[in-house]
Amino acid sequence: MSCIKVLFLAWGNPSFQSIVTIAFFPVSFLFSFSVISFISGQMTDLIYTEKELVQSLKEYIQAEEAKIAAVKSWADKLDMLTQASTADPEGYLAHPVNAYKLVKRLNTVWSELESLVLQDPSDGFISNISVHRQHFPDEEDEKGAAKALMRLQDTYRLDSESFSKGKLPGVRYSALLTVDDCFDMGKTAYNDADYYHAVLWMQQALRQLDAGEEAIVSKVDLLDYLSYSVYQMGDLPRAIELTRRMVALDPTHERAGGNLRYFERLLSKELRESEKSKPEPSMEKPIDLSTYERPRDYLPERETYEALCRGEGVNLTPKRRSRLFCRYQNGNRNPRLLLAPMMEEDEWDSPHIVRFLDALSDAEMEKIKELAKPRLARATVRDPKSGVLTTANYRVSKSAWLEEDIDPVITRVSQRIEDLTGLTVDTAELLQVANYGVGGQYEPHYDFSRKDEPDAFKSLGTGNRVATYLNYMSDVEAGGATVFPDFGAAIWPRKGTAVFWYNLFRSGEGDYRTRHAACPVLVGSKWVANKWIHERGQEFRRPCGLTEVD
């Protein structure tokens, strides 16, 4: 592990305003990255790719074993011959046949043996792995997967030990994280200056290492990262304690000794200025999710959003619940729905959110997925200023846009949306299919453009997004809800159903209550297909109201 020197000028803390000192800390490369998500179909393909590579590896091993067996057989035969020949060289060579065979062996047999040894059975395996390598996840994908686990950890309040031991809700297969896995998770967070998660995962790695689990990473290296991360979280007593452990294991560790003296000076200064007595050593009280406060980020409703994802939503009062009904929807006597009306149920009263049951058949869902899979790419969002589609770290999924004429099923689905909602889809956006793998999410956002984003949909020329129609094309074992932080609703995926809500009031003003999010998928895979319906063409289908919020 390398190290660099950094000047700490702690201007924010009055206790440190006059201090300029040098600290050492463990460094791998410090950088930021965007999270790349592999869709479930791609992940399934990778499983079969790995199986094929294992088979190729076994064939290579068999070839190597056959080669070694042949070489060993020759070695045994030649060993017997040389023992006989060296016992009495002159007597041995006195026989003309032995002389002939010696010449023959050295001229022919040893050349053949040389060719055998030089044969490389690995060519087939190397060729096979080279073909598949272009489809392998890269370093960015590995870091993205680690960040996804941390996102799930935060959202669903799962401690590192739960992940390490595979104790997740709804799982069918056990999956354990080793010491080295936990260390790599912590290092990913550390490299992103995310010391909160670095502490959680380094501590879990240390716990498993202390329990006797074997690992490649050394305890000294682990303590090096952990002690500095704990220091960055402001816990000097624990940083000192961990650094002392490191010094005890490796007294010659230059950085450990320097950091220990530095930490002890800082703690002494803090105690003098606060006039407190020296604290008792913590003796490594277990670090868990509540030990340190999770740093706040850019999302103001983070706590509410994550609580809803965990199912801690608003419970409607009996009076409000009495306003929710289920019914058969015939699209205002639409001919296509008269003989086969759609079942509809209210999910929320205000704003009104409805769910259509049996909105898509199994055959339709499979066809839509089949059409989408080869077109899936990192999901984009529309830049509110420029109107240009771009990727964003707060939306982690893969999506595809399906044209109406690509297959009759897309035309049929669009017609069904028009029949059920009473809104024209002539000015709607293309059907967007999205797949959220484990950790996939779309943080709180508005579907409509706000007043400070006048150009968001200017290029489309169809006005704002008046409504959202969202098809669920899979069940999700755990996580993956659609939540509305403003009023506390959580809509859970149910395969074959669709939910619908208006983003705009009848006046054309945005309904800011409809800010919503797609919660991270904890276990399983989430497939959705949404249609954003625009204002143009709705003038007589949804006339303006008399007030701004009608």
Summarize pLDDT for 62-120 with one digit per residue, the tens. 999 999 999 999 999 999 989 989 998 888 888 788 887 788 888 888 888 888 888 88
- Mean pLDDT computed over 171-197: 90
pLDDT tops 90 at residue 38: no
Tokens in use for 408? 């009759």
Cα dihedral 345, 348, 349, 351 sign: negative
What pLDDT does 437 receive? 81
pLDDT tops 50 at residue 36: no
pLDDT tops 80 at residue 247: yes
- Residue 445: closest CA among 308, 303, 299: 299
Q: Count CB atoms within 10 A of the CB of residue 129.
A: 17
Query: How sure is the predictor about 276, in pLDDT bands with cuts at 50, 70 and 90?
Result: low
> Which residues, including other chains, have CB under 8 Å from residue 447's CB and lie 6 or more apart?
465, 468, 503, 514, 516, 532
The DSSP code sequence of 448-488 is S--TT-TTTTTTTTS-SEEEEEEEE-S--SEE--EEETTTT
pLDDT tops 70 at residue 11: no
User: DSSP secondary-structure letter at 170?
Assistant: T
User: DSSP secondary-structure letter at 438?
Assistant: B
If one compares 41 and 548, the residue with the highest pLDDT of the two is 548
Strands (E), 176-309: none
**Burial of 492 per CB tally in 10 Å (0-12, 13-18, 19+):** middle
Summarize pLDDT for 454-481 with one digit per residue, the tens. 888 988 999 999 999 999 999 999 999 9
- Mean pLDDT computed over 477-501: 96
- Mean pLDDT computed over 238-258: 92
Q: β-pairing, 498-502 with 465-472?
A: antiparallel
Dmax over CA atoms of the chain, in Å, equals 122
pLDDT tops 90 at residue 338: yes
pLDDT tops 50 at residue 33: no
pLDDT tops 60 at residue 278: no
Whole-number percent of the chain with pLDDT over 70: 87
Lowest mean pLDDT among 19-33, 201-215, 503-517: 19-33
Q: β-pairing, 21-27 with 478-479?
A: unpaired
Lowest mean pLDDT among 29-33, 460-464, 483-487: 29-33
Q: How far apart are CA 196 and CA 226, in angstroms?
A: 10
Side-chain-side CA neighbours of 432 within 13 Å: the count stands at 19
What pLDDT does 201 receive? 96
